[in-house]
Chains A and B, each alone.
Chain A
Amino acid sequence: MEDEPVLEVVEVSKDFLGTRALDRVSFAVRPGEVHALVGENGAGKSTLIKVLTGVYRPDGGVLRHRGRPVVFGTPVAAQHAGISTIYQEVNLVPLMSIAGNVFLGREPRTRLGLIDTATMHARATELLAGYGIDADVRKPLGSLGVGAQQMVALARAASVEAHVVIMDEPTSSLEPREVATLFGVIGRLHEQGIAIVYVSHRLDELYRICDRVTVLRDGRMVHTGPLADLPRIELVSLMLGRAVGDIRAHGVTGFGEDHHADRQPLLRAENLASRHRLAGVSVSIRPGEVVGLAGLLGSGRSETARAIVGALPLDGGTVLVAGKRVRSGSVAAAMRAGINMLAEDRKADGIIPNLSVRENIVLAALPKLSRFGLVSRARQDRIVDVFMKRLRIKAASPDQKVAELSGGNQQKVLLARWLCTQPRILLLDEPTRGIDVGAKAEVQALIDELAAEGLGVLLISSEMDELIDGADRVVVLRDGAAVGELVGDQVTEGNVLAAIAAAGEGESVV
């Protein structure tokens, strides 16, 4: 292995409208190396990849290819230079033939300049055989399963005579058998001296095939070095920004004392399974209890919540409220049973932007506020008034368009919407994301109040402080399965990190 990096960025920065997505990041990948690139949401991974592949031009710093500074005007320029990317969403053409996709843009031509389909088909068949794909290459790409489509993308990337292949979450849609094939291919590429940048959250995979690792956090590079020198728990703590063994004092969040819960579980979710997303998660919530879900991005936290509220179709598993089974796959059924969810993405899944604050608040409770289908203005106004006061929603008037409110107030409007329906169980997915400190503390205090009133709460939060302080019990998820549960005094940062980082079956603890 040579030591001269084949592709590197030095002190590169990228800004978007006032946010610094990358802050003087240096990253280098050497020929024949499998280099892991890790970081949580918003850490800057996608931005870095886009800079490496010519999608973005850096605002500061230098991009070097084979030792020489280079500027890629377009992504095509980067491809021609031998840098190839495989995206998480297979970015190919489903209606076009498999062979056509493999050779897209570089189709073999006959002397007349027309596409030589015979050669193209023959070469594609040969190439794909090496990747374990045995399909008729004349068929449309969309006729293959997602995993197979990923393999075709991989074959395409590798056949472009690339010497750098960047893989963004390549195994997210693969079956275990296909993952094994993928690793075989990566091994081959590695022998050929091709450099691979491997972006993934799956720690087991990283430790299996990667040589080096670079960790990004909040746009900065916080660590780079051989993976063998970095124990899992340190890797996780670097990703999440927590020093191992460093215990923060209470009072950092708006959460107060522990909640006292009854014995009988109000909600029991058992063995929730959904292909590629959940592998048998079980959670139970008692009245008055706040249960936290911890885990890295992609571990299945949001999916668990969505499954419980009926927004995710399930392949298996049941949800029981007070012992009665709730029909899966139906949000209406879950809501009738008293389960409500505050979605992670309030813009896409929460607010109705052009409607007023009042209308957004009463949306879910309309049937209760109307008689014979006619909405009672008086009852509507009363309930809106109550909740605007209780949650201290700052708006010019209840008739203001909700899109004009600040993020924090929008979040409160959504909370009000759920509270209007008098739920028994509230699932909160990142309830304080993107809101200012003051509103954050208010929301956290509200969650405390609700638990004290006997509500069962499921809390998903990427902020360790919030999770540790707010939850009575924490269930730790990894890759769609529950890998541990911490209760009461066990709920500390150190324990949560350790549970997240703990090795999978058959793997040795580094």
Chain B
Amino acid sequence: MYLAVVVLLVFNVLFTQNFLSVGNFRTQLIQAAPVCIVALGMALVIGTEGVDLSVGAVMALAAALIPLYLGYGAVAAIAVALVVGIVAGLFNGVLVAYVGIQPIVATLALLVGGRGLALVIAHGQLIEVHDPAFLALGANDVLGVPIAVLVAAVLAVVVGFLVRRTTFGRHIVAVGGNRTASTLAGLPVRRVLLVVYAICGLLAGVAGVLATARLGASDPADVGLLMELSAITAVVVGGTPLTGGRVRILGTVFGAVLMQLVRATLIKHNLPDSTAQMVQAAIIVVAVYAARERSSR
């Protein structure tokens, strides 16, 4: 899969105008950042053999709440957005871990209802955001790197570290690998699931904040639309099996970047959106097939 990224890069360098420009790189990375952040949370959830379909809706909820609290300052607004993400995640987590509902069904509730709620909060309107401190998140750089990209990179490192070096991370992988065995080993399975969904919600909130800052407006109807699919694609293409038990953070990051490159390549060469979607589907099939081969060896 890393090979695919390289191939695409080479192809673009050769055939796409302006690909090698710094401006273009910036754009690509900025666009990939929200997907990458959401995909990190999704990877953790998928690692427990679950899935979170509500991430896009949570982004919308975060976006809807920001304009309401900007009056108290950018920090307050961001804090509220993140809290909403955590609460949504806890809601999902309780349904999955304590009520015992299948993740795909449990997170469906927020997928369907979350965006609706967000639209109600925003009175169905797109609200422009003018707070300079907030907008700085979308426009400014730190050390030459766009803030959104920096946040994505830092989070990737943190989550990667979490998975590999902490007890919690090992618990995630064990629960996904064999839930009964984990229970019999005394692992706090329900608590692990609850926290994992909460983290996913939190990261979706972060992505919602960054997307809103970049857009310069809160657009609950559109922000994060179909994000759950992009995130799941990035995770799957990155080599994390849907059956749980293994979490590839680096792979997920590259998966997000790859899907972004694919889309950008197709757009730059004027292919219609439908073709782009077919190409993405083909990539998913190839990636899952390749992953199966690897694990059965």
Query: CB within 8 Å of B: which residues of A?
Result: 309, 311, 331-332, 334-335, 341, 343, 348-355, 359, 363-364, 366-367, 370, 373-375, 417
A351 touches B165 (CB 8 A): no
A373-B166, A374-B166 known; A335-B186 Cβ under 8 A: yes
Of B178, B183, B187, the residue contacting A311 (CB under 8 A) is B183
Q: What 6 pairs across the A-B complex have the smallest Cβ distances?
A: A335-B186, A352-B177, A364-B185, A354-B245, A352-B178, A366-B167
B186 touches A370 (CB 8 A): no
B181 contacts the other chain (CB 8 A): yes
A417 touches B185 (CB 8 A): yes
CB nearest neighbor in B for A335 = B186
A375 touches B170 (CB 8 A): yes
A352-B177, A355-B177, A363-B174 known; A331-B184 Cβ under 8 A: yes
B246 contacts the other chain (CB 8 A): yes
B246 touches A354 (CB 8 A): yes
- Please report the C-alpha to C-alpha distance between residue A373 and residue B162 in the assembled complex, in whole angstroms: 9
Chain B residues, CB < 8 A from A374: 165-167
A366 touches B171 (CB 8 A): yes
Chain A residues, CB < 8 A from B295: 354
Contact with A along B174-210 (1 / 0, CB 8 A): 1001101111111110000000000000000000000
Residue with the greatest number of chain B CB neighbours at <10 A, chosen from A311, A350, A352, A375? A352
- Please report the C-alpha to C-alpha distance between residue A343 and residue B170 in the assembled complex, in whole angstroms: 21
- Please report the C-alpha to C-alpha distance between residue A261 and residue B295 in the assembled complex, in whole angstroms: 48
B91 contacts the other chain (CB 8 A): no
Residue with the greatest number of chain B CB neighbours at <10 A, chosen from A334, A335, A341, A364? A364
Query: CB within 8 Å of A: which residues of B?
Result: 165-168, 170-171, 173-174, 177-178, 180-188, 245-246, 295
| Chain A: minimal CB distance from B87 (Å) | 23
A363 touches B167 (CB 8 A): no
- Please report the C-alpha to C-alpha distance between residue A183 and residue B186 in the assembled complex, in whole angstroms: 43
A370-B167, A375-B166 known; A353-B178 Cβ under 8 A: yes
| Chain B: minimal CB distance from A159 (Å) | 36
Chain A residues, CB < 8 A from B166: 370, 373-375
Chain A residues, CB < 8 A from B186: 331-332, 334-335, 364
Do most interface residues of chain B lie in helix, strand or loop, or is the interface mixed?
helix
Can you spell out 12 A-B residue pairs with CB atoms less than 8 angstroms apart? A335-B186, A343-B181, A349-B184, A352-B178, A354-B246, A359-B170, A359-B173, A363-B182, A364-B185, A367-B167, A375-B166, A375-B170
- Please report the C-alpha to C-alpha distance between residue A352 and residue B246 in the assembled complex, in whole angstroms: 11
| Chain A: minimal CB distance from B283 (Å) | 24
CB nearest neighbor in B for A342 = B184
- Please report the C-alpha to C-alpha distance between residue A417 and residue B184 in the assembled complex, in whole angstroms: 11
| Chain A: minimal CB distance from B226 (Å) | 31
Chain B residues, CB < 8 A from A354: 177, 245-246, 295
- Please report the C-alpha to C-alpha distance between residue A417 and residue B178 in the assembled complex, in whole angstroms: 15
B180 touches A348 (CB 8 A): yes
Besides A331-B186, A349-B181, A373-B166, 17 more A-B contacts (Cβ < 8 Å) are A309-B184, A334-B186, A343-B184, A348-B180, A349-B184, A351-B181, A353-B178, A354-B246, A354-B295, A363-B170, A363-B185, A366-B171, A367-B167, A370-B167, A374-B166, A374-B167, A375-B165
| Chain B: minimal CB distance from A140 (Å) | 20
- Please report the C-alpha to C-alpha distance between residue A31 and residue B25 in the assembled complex, in whole angstroms: 83
Of B165, B183, B245, the residue contacting A355 (CB under 8 A) is B245
CB nearest neighbor in B for A333 = B186
Chain B residues, CB < 8 A from A353: 177-178, 245
| Chain B: minimal CB distance from A310 (Å) | 9
A331 touches B183 (CB 8 A): yes
| Chain B: minimal CB distance from A1 (Å) | 48
CB nearest neighbor in B for A352 = B177
Of B168, B182, B188, the residue contacting A352 (CB under 8 A) is B182
CB nearest neighbor in B for A368 = B167
A355 touches B174 (CB 8 A): yes
- Please report the C-alpha to C-alpha distance between residue A373 and residue B186 in the assembled complex, in whole angstroms: 16
- Please report the C-alpha to C-alpha distance between residue A423 and residue B295 in the assembled complex, in whole angstroms: 35
B168 touches A373 (CB 8 A): yes
B170 touches A366 (CB 8 A): yes
Chain B residues, CB < 8 A from A417: 185
| Chain A: minimal CB distance from B192 (Å) | 12
Chain A residues, CB < 8 A from B171: 366
Chain B residues, CB < 8 A from A367: 167
- Please report the C-alpha to C-alpha distance between residue A331 and residue B186 in the assembled complex, in whole angstroms: 5
CB nearest neighbor in B for A362 = B170
Chain B residues, CB < 8 A from A373: 166-168
Chain B residues, CB < 8 A from A343: 181, 184
Chain A residues, CB < 8 A from B173: 352, 355, 359
Chain A residues, CB < 8 A from B174: 352, 355, 359, 363
Chain A residues, CB < 8 A from B246: 354
B184 touches A311 (CB 8 A): yes
CB nearest neighbor in A for B246 = A354
- Please report the C-alpha to C-alpha distance between residue A348 and residue B181 in the assembled complex, in whole angstroms: 7
